[in-house]
């Protein structure tokens, strides 16, 4: 068999005998920048936490009380944005660039259609938190963050859709540009809104919304102009198509439900911890944010797998999609095993980072390393 005549599939190489193998170097070339991008995303979460930590212990506790329930809601209703990468990768694999652009445009329209849902959730905040009996000060701060953040949650879905497009066509450098721009903008907006303008927790929420608006604007500029715009006919595919939106909802909503259900237990746990006191809730939120540094890079490998599997299906070879998918699953498991061993052997290295976040301000005197260490050990065992 002449390997040179075989159609190339994603991450495929042939040995001298013409036998196909998964090219681990090709997988690594795609996964490495996605791992870095996800690590930056984890730093974005820590940036928010650091700024909120400068307010008070109660502010960190308030964020901990509603962060995961907010994440659950965004995942549940914003799943249409998460489905874009699958559709784009398949279209890219079948060499139908215009269809890839159409997938992104319709996800953007669907995200905009969700604005009333997120606004309803924003104003349902008091009703949702009331049964948990949080301390009045913590509940007030939580609602100050919840309401504006949920009003702008649709922007996050649009951002996921845009980055899913770039991931699906293997243009990871554009994803990195969007994430880095969003992170820098978020830091600047937090400082200005929270402290220069004295908006406190509201400023943190509006700062995140503003940063995501800038990120989406940058993503759309990269999508509509240059080589991407020409190759994928981006400016021509903007009209909404209900069959496409319905297909993306059919895939995106189950994804959102799956992720949301996974996060729901954690959200309820955080709310119950917040009932016991502000210090425990704040310490747990800091530890959860630090823990994300362990698993977020592995999600980058999984995203690379989503792209490769989708492109293989688009190329008409489901057998190869299954094969490359299994290899990526094994790589994810190996990466997490490596992280677990590293954390077990060198877990104390997180002490400095945790302490710096915890004592970001003199107003947070209750969060010392012994409290964080106990929480971190529990998180690692979990």
pLDDT at 1: 43
**Mean pLDDT per 10-residue segment, the chain (382 residues):** 58 89 92 85 81 90 88 84 90 92 95 93 91 88 95 93 94 93 94 95 95 96 94 93 88 82 81 82 80 83 92 93 95 91 68 47 46 47 48
Q: Does 10 fall in a domain?
A: no
Q: Are 341 and 380 in contact (CB under 8 A)?
A: no
Encode the chain in three state secondary structure.
Answer: CCHHHCCCCCCEEECCCCCEEECHHHHHHHHHHHHHHHHHHHHHHHHHHHHHHCCCHHHHHHHHHHHHHHHHHHHHHCHHHHCHHHHHHHHHHCCCHHHHHHHHHHHHHHHHHCHHHHHHHHHCHHHHHHHHCCCHHHHHHHHHHHHHHHHCHHHHHHHHHHHHHHHHCCCHHHHHHHHHHHHHHHHHHHHHHHHHCCCHHHHHHHHHHHHHHHHHHHHHHHHHCHHHHHHCCHHHCCCCCHHHHHHHHHHHHHHHHHHHHHHHHHHHHHHHHHHHCHHHHHHHHHHHHHHHHHHHHHHHHHHHHHHHHHHHHHCCCHHHHHHHHHHHHHHHHHHHHHHHHHHHHHHHHHHHHHHHHHCCCCCCCCCCHHHHHHHHHHHHHC
Q: Does 14 fall in a domain?
A: no
Q: Does 118 fall in a domain?
A: yes
Q: Does 3 fall in a domain?
A: no
How many domains are there within the chain? 1
Partner residues linked to 20 by β-bridges: 14
pLDDT at 34: 87
CA 51, distance to chain mean position in Å, is 20
pLDDT at 7: 52
- Domain extent for 53: 20-381
pLDDT at 3: 45
pLDDT at 351: 52
Q: Does 302 fall in a domain?
A: yes
pLDDT at 178: 95
Q: What phi and psi, each to the nearest 5 degrees, are found at residue 20?
A: -80, 140
Q: Does 38 fall in a domain?
A: yes
pLDDT at 379: 45
Q: Does 9 fall in a domain?
A: no
Q: Does 6 fall in a domain?
A: no
pLDDT at 371: 45
pLDDT at 111: 92
* pTM (two decimals): 0.83
pLDDT at 104: 96
Question: Locate tokens 């953040």: which residue?
Answer: 149
pLDDT at 376: 45
């Amino acid at each position: 068999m002449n390997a040179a005549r075989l159609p190339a599939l994603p991450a495929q190489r042939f040995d001298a005998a013409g036998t196909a193998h998964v090219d681990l170097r090709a997988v690594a070339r795609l996964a490495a920048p996605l791992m870095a991008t996800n690590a930056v995303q984890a730093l974005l979460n820590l940036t928010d936490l650091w700024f909120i930590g400068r307010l008070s212990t109660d502010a960190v506790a308030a964020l901990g009380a509603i962060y995961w329930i907010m994440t659950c809601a965004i995942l549940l209703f914003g799943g249409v944005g998460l489905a874009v990468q699958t559709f784009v990768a398949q279209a890219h694999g079948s060499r139908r660039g215009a269809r890839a652009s159409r997938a992104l445009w319709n996800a953007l329209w669907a995200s905009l259609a969700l604005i009333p849902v997120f606004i309803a959730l924003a104003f349902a905040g008091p009703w949702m938190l009331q049964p948990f009996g949080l301390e009045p000060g913590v509940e007030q701060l939580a609602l100050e963050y919840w309401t504006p953040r949920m009003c702008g949650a649709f922007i996050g879905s649009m951002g996921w859709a845009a980055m899913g497009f770039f991931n699906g066509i293997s243009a990871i450098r554009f994803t990195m540009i969007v994430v880095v721009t969003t992170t820098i903008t978020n830091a600047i907006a937090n400082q200005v809104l929270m402290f220069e303008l004295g908006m406190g927790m509201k400023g943190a929420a509006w700062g995140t919304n503003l940063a995501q608006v800038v990120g989406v604007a940058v993503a759309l500029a990269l999508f509509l102009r240059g080589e991407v715009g020409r190759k994928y006919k981006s400016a021509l595919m903007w009209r909404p198509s209900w069959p496409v939106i319905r297909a993306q909802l059919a895939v995106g909503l189950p994804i959102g439900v799956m992720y949301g259900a996974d996060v729901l237990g954690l959200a309820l746990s955080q709310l119950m911890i917040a009932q016991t006191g502000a210090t425990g809730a704040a310490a747990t939120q800091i530890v959860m944010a630090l823990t994300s540094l362990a698993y977020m890079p592995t999600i980058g490998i999984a995203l690379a797998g989503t792209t490769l599997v989708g492109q293989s299906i688009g190329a008409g070879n489901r057998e190869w999609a299954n094969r490359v998918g299994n290899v990526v699953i094994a790589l994810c498991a190996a990466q997490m095993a490596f992280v677990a061993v590293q954390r077990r052997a060198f877990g104390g290295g997180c002490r400095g980072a945790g302490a710096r976040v915890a004592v970001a301000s003199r107003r947070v005197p209750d969060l010392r390393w012994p409290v964080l260490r106990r929480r971190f050990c529990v998180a690692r065992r979990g």
